Amino acid sequence: MIADGVIDLGWVFDHLGDMWEASVEHAVLTGIAVSCGLVLSVLLSLIALRWRRTYTPITWVTGILYTIPSLALFTFLVPVFGLSLLTAEIALVSYTLLILIRNIVSGIDGVPDDVLEASSGMGMTARQQLLRVQVPLALPAIIAGIRIAAVTTIGLVTVTVLIGQGGYGVFILRGIRRQFLTEALVGTLLSVALAVVVDLLLVGVGRLAMPWARRAGT
Amino acid sequence: MPNVPAIEFRQVEKIYPGSSAAAVTDLSLEVAEGETVALIGPSGCGKTTLLKMVNRLIEPTAGMIRVFGNDVRSSNPVELRRGIGYVIQQVGLLPHRTVAQNIGTVPELLGWDDRRVWARVDELFDLIQLDPELRDRYPSDLSGGQRQRVGVARALAADPPIMLMDEPFGAVDPIVRKALQQQFLEVQKRLGKTTVLVTHDIDEAITLADRVAILNLGGILEQFDPPMAILRDPANAFVMSFLGHDRGLKRLSLLPISSVKLVKGPAVSRSASIEEAREMMERWGVDWIALADGDVLHGWVPGEELDGASDLASLALRRFESWLTSDASLLDALDVVVSSRTSAAAVFDGDRYLGMLSAETIGREIVT
Ligand SMILES: Nc1ncnc2c1ncn2[C@@H]1O[C@H](COP(=O)(O)OP(=O)(O)OP(=O)(O)O)[C@@H](O)[C@H]1O
Ligand SMILES: [Mg+2]
């Protein structure tokens, strides 16, 4: 087996504690980024939905943010905010916005007209309509957006080691520097595993939150 | 004020922005309290537009709409809508809410406590005869007919005095549709809601409505009268063509047997002589004779069996296979009469024999 020559199992067992610690750091960095991204996206989406003309500029700006390479973004941010958590999160959050806003807006736009007409015909205020009808019906799209954002962010967090943050990036970077394959590989595999676990969790949350859509197979 | 109409359209006009043609043109119409009015007309003639102007989903370009005497523009649209039951053309159930939650929507918006909402939902399940097992299902699990009934129940939930129904029985097959119409009539008899019902099925309008408003493209009101009056005196060529060529038959469906004079028919007493029976057959020009005394019908015998018989009492009587009750419509009667061997049907009120209904009698009603 490859593992015999390539993976140093002894190292792996000696560092289980470090791996757990890195997992927590990685999850926290991701969690902060996705939550802040979601809050910001909800606000921007509400603006886009309320004033339609703002939607194009909003997707434009978040689209540009999305395409800036992460290394370049750090380079711009570090002189201002230093090698800090803030720098890392600003970068991470900015990558979630496009995906989340697009999914929120298209989810809410996708609510069928007859449902909207019925709900306003029954005397729902615009606010009640948003909270009781549009948001719940947009949930499949919103959760799909959160899944993509979370998985993307988990991958990106590995890069934040370059500005002094923790997480699996520490293993990867150190493994590369020391030319120690085991460590780099462990960092990579853990990152992939975390992405899979988080994705499955979100699928589960979606099922619980949307019993009506269960048979539709989301 | 007892004589204030429940709904009043006064010289209402609607021109949608960016459209050159009017969707509703100078339309005036009153709906009395407790009345069912059907709006009918070709697709695009403004039926939905009219309905939505009542609960302010659409604002008229000109004119005024009053509900129980109050100009709708003076009421808050949200409050107004909660007080008017609305069944939309595409049903529009909330896909993420169970059937029970859908029905309870307006009571919930009105802030009823949970217990009262659920009690009311139970009542409505009962009223529209929905299977209680459906309570916790989602709309996607329901058949088309069930959805439409839930749509109606939801509109009735807060017991609004006015119901606006946009093709409430549109998207179902004819059999389900008939059943839903029947149910509507029963429920309406109990609740007596002021109802404006949109349909493009003239038979539905005739069956369900106290008065029918026939609209032409551009939202022009061509005639507004009770079904009987429309069938008898169509206002113009448009109405005539809209009613179709079986206008006479449609009229029959509205007339109960009790509205025409029944004949004694070719009938004699059981104690009459054979001679009297033959005479009666000859007078009516038929080859059969019925035996009746007062409000008891004994049966009938074919003419040839009179030959060689000594008296009527000794003959084996046949039961009338063609019989009707007096509350059946003349259209039902026509069906029975034309397919009967005797060309006449015996009419009963319960057990009481009232008389014969002949094809000629029905025929006279078609012509007039
Ligand atoms: N929101 C709108 N904007 C512009 N025109 C509209 C709008 N809604 C309806 N119309 C037009 O107004 C006219 C009347 O429409 P309406 O929906 O009231 O007709 P309807 O009698 O309900 O038709 P149907 O039987 O097909 O439901 C039609 O010509 C339609 O195209
Ligand atoms: Mg319509």
- DSSP for B200-245 reads S-HHHHHHH-SEEEEEETTTEEEEEE-HHHHHHS-SSHHHHHHH-T
Predicted confidence band at B261 (pLDDT cuts at 50, 70, 90)? confident
- In chain B, residues under CATH classification 3.40.50.300 are 7-255
Q: Parallel, antiparallel, or unpaired for β B288-293 and B344-349?
A: unpaired
Size of interface A-B (CB pairs under 8 A): 65
* B136 close to A (CB below 8 A): no
Partners of A202 in the β-ladder: none
Its ipTM equals: 0.84
How far apart are the CA of B187 and the centre of ligand 2, in A?
24
Average pLDDT over residues B189-209: 92
Q: Per CATH, the architecture of B7-255 is what?
A: 3-Layer(aba) Sandwich (3.40)
Question: pLDDT tens, B318-353?
Answer: 887 778 888 888 888 888 888 877 778 888 887 788
Q: Which residue has the higher pLDDT, A61 or B272?
A: A61
Average pLDDT over residues B120-129: 92
pLDDT for B60: 96
Average pLDDT over residues B307-324: 82
Chain A closest-CA separation from residue B214 CA (Å) = 25
A contacts of B58 (beta carbons < 8 Å): none
Ligand 1 atom nearest B47 alpha carbon: 21
CATH number of B258-367: 3.10.580.10
* B90 close to A (CB below 8 A): yes
User: Is A46's pLDDT higher than 70?
Assistant: yes
Q: Report the percentage of chain A scoring pLDDT > 70.
A: 95
Cβ of A122 and B97 within 8 Å?
Answer: no
pLDDT for B368: 54
* B94 close to A (CB below 8 A): yes
How far apart are the CA of B242 and the centre of ligand 1, in A?
19
Q: How many residues does chain A have?
A: 218
Residue of the CA atom closest to atom 26 of ligand 1: B43
d(CA B285, CA B282): 5
Chain B closest-CA separation from residue A50 CA (Å) = 19
Ligand 1 atom nearest B46 alpha carbon: 18
Predicted confidence band at A2 (pLDDT cuts at 50, 70, 90)? very low
pLDDT for B308: 80
Q: How many CB atoms lie within 10 A of CB A50?
A: 9
A contacts of B138 (beta carbons < 8 Å): 211-212
Q: Report the percentage of chain B scoring pLDDT > 90.
A: 54
pLDDT for B358: 83
Structure tokens at A89: 């999160």
User: Is A98's pLDDT higher than 90?
Assistant: yes
Cβ of A115 and B138 within 8 Å?
Answer: no
Interface of A with B (CB under 8 A): 112, 114-115, 117-125, 128, 133, 136-137, 210-213, 215
User: Is B123's pLDDT higher than 50?
Assistant: yes
Query: Which among B79, B88, B154 is the nearest to A114, CB-wise?
Result: B88
Q: Which residue has the higher pLDDT, B276 or A153?
A: A153
User: Is B1's pLDDT higher than 70?
Assistant: no
Partners of B215 in the β-ladder: B221
d(CA A155, CA A168): 10
User: Is B71's pLDDT higher than 90?
Assistant: yes
Fold topology of A9-217: MetI-like fold (1.10.3720)
Query: Which among B57, B80, B96 is the nearest to A136, CB-wise?
Result: B96
- Sign of the CA dihedral running B239, B242, B248, B253: negative
pLDDT for B170: 82
User: Is A216's pLDDT higher than 60?
Assistant: no
What average pLDDT is seen over chain B? 90
Question: pLDDT tens, A178-197?
Answer: 999 999 999 999 999 999 99
Average pLDDT over residues B88-108: 94
Question: pLDDT tens, B206-246?
Answer: 999 999 999 999 999 999 999 989 998 999 999 998 888 88
pLDDT for A5: 62
Structure tokens at A133: 């009808």
Q: How many CB atoms lie within 10 A of CB B90?
A: 17
- Residues A101, A106, A109: CA angle, nearest 5 degrees: 130
Cβ of B86 and A122 within 8 Å?
Answer: yes
Residue of the CA atom closest to atom 20 of ligand 1: B44
What average pLDDT is seen over chain A? 92
Look up the pTM and report it: 0.82
